[in-house]
Amino acid sequence: MPSAVRQRSASPDGRSTKKARDDPARPIVLPEGKERAVLHEKYEASEPYKHIVVPGLLTDELVSRMVAEV
C-alpha cells in the first residue's frame, strides 16, 4: 500500500531546500563558428588522449557550489 506524499518542510532559515532553484545558474554558452572549428582541431591533435579546454565554461563559484553540494 503506497504511503501518502508529504510536503517537504522549509529549511530553518526559510529558504527552499533545493539550492539550485534559489540560484539560477548562468547559461552555458558553447563556442560557435570559427572558434568551434579551432577547438575541434585542438581536440583532434591532443595527446596522449583526446581532450580540449573550453575557456569560461565553468566559473570558480559554480565549481565551489558543486563541491559543496556533493
User: Element (H or E) spanning 9, and its range?
Assistant: none
Helix (H, G, I), strand (E, B) or coil at 7: coil
pLDDT beyond 90 at 68: yes
Residue of 49 and 28 predicted with greater confidence:
49
Cell of 26: 548562468
What is the rounded CA–CA span in Å between residue 20 and residue 60? Answer: 16
Question: What is the tens place of the pLDDT at every residue in 5-44?
Answer: 656 555 555 554 445 444 456 677 778 899 889 999 999 9
Position 21 scores a pLDDT of 47
Task: At 47, list the grid cell.
Answer: 595527446
Kindly compute the dihedral angle of the four CA atoms of residues 62, 19, 68, 13, in this order, to the nearest 10 degrees: 130
Confidence grade of residue 46 (pLDDT, cut at 50, 70, 90): very high
DSSP 8-state class, residue 56 = T
Asked if residue 60 has pLDDT above 80, the reply is yes
